Amino acid sequence: MANLSMYGEMIRIRFLMMLAYRTNYYSGILIYSINIGAYYFLWQAIYGSQETLGGLSVMQMTTYVAIAWMARAFYFNNIDREIAQEIQEGKVAIEMIRPYHYLAVKTMQGLGEGLFRLLFFSVPGMFIIWLAFPIDFSNSLNVWALFFISIIFSFIVNTQINLITGILTFFLLYNTGLIRAKRVVIDLFSGLLLPISFYPIWAQDIMMFLPFQAISYIPSMIFTEGFTGAEVYSALGIQLFWALFLIIPIQFLWVIAKKQLIIQGG
Amino acid sequence: MNVIEVNKLRKEFKSYSSRSGLKGAFRDLFTRNYKVLRAVDDISLQIKEGEMVGYIGENGAGKSTTIKMLTGILTPTAGEVRVNGMDPHREREKFVRTIGVVFGQRSQLWWDIAVQESFRLLKKVYKVSDEDYNTHMKEVIETLEIEPLLDKPVRKLSLGQRMRCELAAALIHNPPLLFLDEPTIGLDVLVKMKIRAFLKEINKKYKTTILLTTHDLADIEALCDRVVLLDEGKIIYDGRLDELQKNWVEGKQVHFEFQELVEVSSLEELSKDFDVKWRPGERKNQWVATVEGDDDAVSRLMSQVMLKHAISDVKINQVSTEEIIRNIYEEGIIHG
């Protein structure tokens, strides 16, 4: 119970920190809207006169793009960069004298960031987008519920990958390249830029074995009702599998990292 | 009861040395030269409850590394550590609740938010009850005079203001053991004195054990009865501060500042009846005499010298701790 109130406090602090820089907040909304707008027109051009592509109609595609970006506002966080920075500046020393689990705290900070964006970016942003473009929002409560379960898993899997990338800084000490590469890989392989069903079959086969589809492709497909019936549950199963599986490398790396921790700068 | 119990503690770091030149840099891509550096070399140390111990040494002597092992941040390469009856690294989460730490060069407050928000979070982190917080922290805040700073973000505080807040943050859970790593670095005299007075007070009131590292020996003189001197990872002195002063030098120092140039030979000639050593002072025409013997000898020496040479200034000093320690480092041995 006491732990819960501590994590609640962490989330609150993250809200305060996000609010401390207002310009970031406003420009964030703008960037997301521009992105969605740009992809909307891009897909309009690609579809041209065709009704469907890769099993999705134009309308589904637009909804897919809008919802994929809005979900990204929730699952996306910079904790990998923060961990890397804290290691490089030697701030982990302070984290290690606190009676909490560093990774759990980082996850909570990520959640704080995500909730902030969900409430203050996504919801107002979604409203604007809904006014501007023809988007098909499901009126089935069931779809919404499944979508929310799914983006919680998106957050977990994405955060886990961020934690792994962050912890690797303990070993590499300089990690910016890897963090950037990870970001591109996630944007590309998670289905944010392009639904996975649009990739060539051989690429799809490879991606089926990677955790990235659990981040963006699955919740977006659930929302646009690209997945139906049993497909939805097997997709959620895939997300659950990755959420559990990724705990193994994280624990493993963390134990080794703590042992050979070197504090930079005295 | 020993609060800190350290036995043959050792920490080694691997350090890479890069080869020189472009060719060397290419070779470093494939194989690297490294050597093992021993930052802390088999030290043993016991600290009792309520003690205030000064832990001093030159830069790179291994002070911070020791503190980091004692606080559970680093794992020792070899040796035993028991602090507050626990193994700091193995029982980290439980252990850190019983200590407070201040790193002078690092902030533990959240940079972008108001100080009181940091306090509030730390209160939750350490599970401090409202009651304890209100009684204990109210006092801390009053003594450190940080009440007006509480609603300001940390980035807007001056160093002295920030350091007082850091100290308060380290004491939120009223720990029985406090580690201070250079807490007065870069602070002005007034803030330093405030912090010293505060540390004395909590030591007296709560029997808080304090281990302090600093480069400012005035801190040590003001606070610590006991000093531990570290050099190249080894303890070279562990004992009372006044004993260090007593054993190292008896006698006094006299600083003469002459009006004109004076040769050392003439000074030695003048003082050949005394047990005295001359060395040039830091300023022009300044000479420092270290006189062994009683006060009488000192006054006779002074009159002898002043009869012969016109002086513009003269001072009698006890040998300062700073000087003793400088001598120890330069000569590497302990007298007495």
CATH number at residue B268: 3.30.70.1570
Q: Which residues make Cβ contacts (< 8 Å) with residue A44, sequence separation at least 6?
A: A58, A62
**Record: contact A6-B127, CB cut-off 8 A:** yes
CA-based nearest distance B56→chain A, Å: 15
| Domain-embedded: residue B130 | yes
Among the partner-chain residues B73, B97, B124, the one whose CB lies closest to the CB of A9 is B124
Using alpha carbons, select from B100, B73, B76, B98 the residue that is nearest to residue B85. B98
**Residues B189 and B301 occupy one common structural domain:** no
| Domain-embedded: residue B64 | yes
Q: Which residues make Cβ contacts (< 8 Å) with residue B53, sequence separation at least 6?
A: B47, B210, B211, B212, B224, B226, B227, B228
According to the model, what pLDDT value does residue A2 have? 59
Instruction: Identify the domain boundary among B245, B263, B297.
Output: B245
Measured in whole angstroms, the distance separating CA B136 from the mean position of its chain's CA atoms is: 27
Q: Which residues of B touch A82 (CB under 8 A)?
A: none
**Record: contact B93-A100, CB cut-off 8 A:** yes
Q: Which residues of A touch B113 (CB under 8 A)?
A: 13, 16-17, 20
According to the model, what pLDDT value does residue B176 have? 94
According to the model, what pLDDT value does residue B335 have? 47
Q: Which two tokens stand for residue B84?
A: 């507050």
CB pairs under 8 A between A and B: 72
**Residues B37 and B98 occupy one common structural domain:** yes
Q: What are phi and psi of B83, to 5 degrees?
A: -125, 130
Using alpha carbons, select from A206, A222, A249 the residue that is nearest to residue A151. A222
Query: Mean pLDDT over residues B92-98, rounded?
Result: 91
User: Are B98 and B175 contacting, i.e. CB atoms less than 8 angstroms apart?
Assistant: yes
Torsion over CA: B119, B121, B122, B126 (sign): positive
Instruction: For chain A, say whether B246 makes contact (Cβ under 8 Å).
Output: no
If one counts every other C-beta atom within 10 angstroms of the C-beta of residue A1, the result is 5
Written as one string, the DSSP assignment of A186-211 is HHHHTTSSS-GGGS-HHHHHHHTTSG
Per-chain mean pLDDT for chain A: 87
The yes-or-no verdict on residue B74 having pLDDT over 70 is yes
What is chain B's alpha carbon radius of gyration, rounded to the nearest angstrom?
25
Q: Which two tokens stand for residue B335?
A: 């007298």
Q: Which residues of A touch B72 (CB under 8 A)?
A: 96-97
Among the partner-chain residues A10, A94, A266, the one whose CB lies closest to the CB of B108 is A94
Q: Which of A122-131, B117-126, B248-257 has the lowest mean pLDDT?
A: B248-257
Q: Residue B233 belongs to what domain range?
A: 2-245
**Residues B135 and B150 occupy one common structural domain:** yes
In angstroms, rounded to a whole number, what is the distance separating the alpha carbons of residues A224 and A220?
6
**Chain segment B144-163, per-residue pLDDT in tens:** 999 999 999 999 999 989 99
Per-chain mean pLDDT for chain B: 86
In angstroms, rounded to a whole number, what is the distance separating the alpha carbons of residues B76 and B11?
5
According to the model, what pLDDT value does residue A1 have? 52
User: Are A239 and A150 contacting, i.e. CB atoms less than 8 angstroms apart?
Assistant: yes
- How many domains in chain B? 2
**Record: contact B73-A93, CB cut-off 8 A:** yes
CB-side neighbour CA atoms (13 Å) of B140:
24
Helix (H, G, I), strand (E, B) or coil at B227: strand
**Residues B220 and B260 occupy one common structural domain:** no
The yes-or-no verdict on residue B252 having pLDDT over 80 is no
Which domain CATH number covers B208?
Answer: 3.40.50.300
The yes-or-no verdict on residue A266 having pLDDT over 50 is no
Instruction: For chain A, say whether B71 makes contact (Cβ under 8 Å).
Output: yes
Name the burial class of residue A2, with classes exposed (0-12), middle (13-18) and buried (19+) by CB atoms within 10 angstroms of its CB: exposed
According to the model, what pLDDT value does residue A20 have? 78
According to the model, what pLDDT value does residue B81 have? 93
**Record: contact A263-B73, CB cut-off 8 A:** yes
Using alpha carbons, select from B67, B90, B77, B5 the residue that is nearest to residue B41. B77
Instruction: For chain A, say whether B73 makes contact (Cβ under 8 Å).
Output: yes
Element (H, E) at B89: none
**Residues B93 and B43 occupy one common structural domain:** yes
**Record: contact B71-A97, CB cut-off 8 A:** yes
In angstroms, rounded to a whole number, what is the distance separating the alpha carbons of residues A213 and A196?
8
User: Are A140 and A147 contacting, i.e. CB atoms less than 8 angstroms apart?
Assistant: no
Instruction: For chain A, say whether B215 makes contact (Cβ under 8 Å).
Output: no
CA-based nearest distance A256→chain B, Å: 11
In angstroms, rounded to a whole number, what is the distance separating the alpha carbons of residues A68 and A198?
15
According to the model, what pLDDT value does residue B48 have? 93
Q: What are phi and psi of B95, to 5 degrees?
A: -65, -45
Strand A52-53 with A56-57, pairing: antiparallel
Name the burial class of residue A140, with classes exposed (0-12), middle (13-18) and buried (19+) by CB atoms within 10 angstroms of its CB: exposed
Q: Which residues of A touch B83 (CB under 8 A)?
A: none
Identify any residues that bridge with B36 across adjacent strands, giving them in sequence order: B14
**Chain segment A173-194, per-residue pLDDT in tens:** 788 899 999 999 998 899 888 8
Instruction: For chain B, say whether A94 makes contact (Cβ under 8 Å).
Output: yes
Helix axes B159-170, B115-125, angle to 10 degrees: 20
User: Are B313 and B287 contacting, i.e. CB atoms less than 8 angstroms apart?
Assistant: no
Residue with tokens 């009006």: B259
Instruction: Identify the domain boundary among B245, B278, B297.
Output: B245
Query: Mean pLDDT over residues B25-49, rounded?
Result: 87
The yes-or-no verdict on residue A219 having pLDDT over 50 is yes
Q: Which has more pLDDT, B298 or B54?
A: B54
Instruction: For chain A, say whether B121 makes contact (Cβ under 8 Å).
Output: yes
Which ipTM did the prediction report? 0.79
According to the model, what pLDDT value does residue B207 have? 93
In angstroms, rounded to a whole number, what is the distance separating the alpha carbons of residues B213 and B216?
9
According to the model, what pLDDT value does residue A121 have? 80
In angstroms, rounded to a whole number, what is the distance separating the alpha carbons of residues A194 and A204?
12
Instruction: For chain B, say whether A266 makes contact (Cβ under 8 Å).
Output: yes
**Chain segment B6-17, per-residue pLDDT in tens:** 999 999 888 777
What is chain A's alpha carbon radius of gyration, rounded to the nearest angstrom?
19
The yes-or-no verdict on residue B319 having pLDDT over 70 is no
The yes-or-no verdict on residue A215 having pLDDT over 50 is yes
Sorting pLDDT into bands at 50, 70 and 90, what band is B126? very high
For residue A54, what are the CA distances in angstroms to A46, A192, A202, B85?
12, 15, 15, 65
**Record: contact A97-B101, CB cut-off 8 A:** yes
User: Are B314 and B257 contacting, i.e. CB atoms less than 8 angstroms apart?
Assistant: yes
**Record: contact A93-B97, CB cut-off 8 A:** no
Instruction: For chain B, say whether A85 makes contact (Cβ under 8 Å).
Output: no
Instruction: Identify the domain boundary among B230, B245, B260.
Output: B245
The yes-or-no verdict on residue B334 having pLDDT over 60 is no
**Residues B77 and B196 occupy one common structural domain:** yes
Instruction: For chain B, say whether A19 makes contact (Cβ under 8 Å).
Output: no
User: Are A192 and A219 contacting, i.e. CB atoms less than 8 angstroms apart?
Assistant: no
**Residues B110 and B239 occupy one common structural domain:** yes
Q: Which residues of B touch A266 (CB under 8 A)?
A: 64, 105
User: Are B65 and B39 contacting, i.e. CB atoms less than 8 angstroms apart?
Assistant: yes
Measured in whole angstroms, the distance separating CA B2 from the mean position of its chain's CA atoms is: 21
Instruction: For chain A, say whether B172 makes contact (Cβ under 8 Å).
Output: no
Instruction: For chain A, say whether B117 makes contact (Cβ under 8 Å).
Output: yes
Instruction: For chain B, say whether A183 makes contact (Cβ under 8 Å).
Output: no
Query: Mean pLDDT over residues B216-240, rounded?
Result: 88
According to the model, what pLDDT value does residue B336 have? 40
Sorting pLDDT into bands at 50, 70 and 90, what band is B180? very high
Sorting pLDDT into bands at 50, 70 and 90, what band is B165? very high
Helix (H, G, I), strand (E, B) or coil at A1: coil
**Residues B57 and B141 occupy one common structural domain:** yes
Instruction: For chain B, say whether A101 makes contact (Cβ under 8 Å).
Output: yes
According to the model, what pLDDT value does residue A57 have? 85
According to the model, what pLDDT value does residue B199 have? 93
Residue with tokens 């201070």: B180
The yes-or-no verdict on residue B293 having pLDDT over 80 is no
In percent, the amount of chain A with pLDDT more than 90 equals 35
In angstroms, rounded to a whole number, what is the distance separating the alpha carbons of residues A40 and A35?
8
Domain map (residue ranges) of chain A: 2-259
Q: Which residues of A touch B127 (CB under 8 A)?
A: 2, 6
According to the model, what pLDDT value does residue B248 have? 64
Q: Which residues of A touch B73 (CB under 8 A)?
A: 93, 96-97, 261, 263
* DSSP tag of B332: -
Helix (H, G, I), strand (E, B) or coil at B61: coil
CA-based nearest distance B89→chain A, Å: 9
| Domain-embedded: residue B159 | yes
Instruction: For chain B, say whether A5 makes contact (Cβ under 8 Å).
Output: yes
Q: Which has more pLDDT, B326 or B119?
A: B119
**Record: contact A2-B103, CB cut-off 8 A:** no
**Record: contact A17-B110, CB cut-off 8 A:** yes
| Domain-embedded: residue B54 | yes
**Residues B112 and B166 occupy one common structural domain:** yes
**Residues B204 and B71 occupy one common structural domain:** yes
According to the model, what pLDDT value does residue A28 have? 80
The yes-or-no verdict on residue A264 having pLDDT over 70 is no
CA-based nearest distance B92→chain A, Å: 7
**Residues B158 and B278 occupy one common structural domain:** no
Q: Which amino acid, residue A188?
A: L
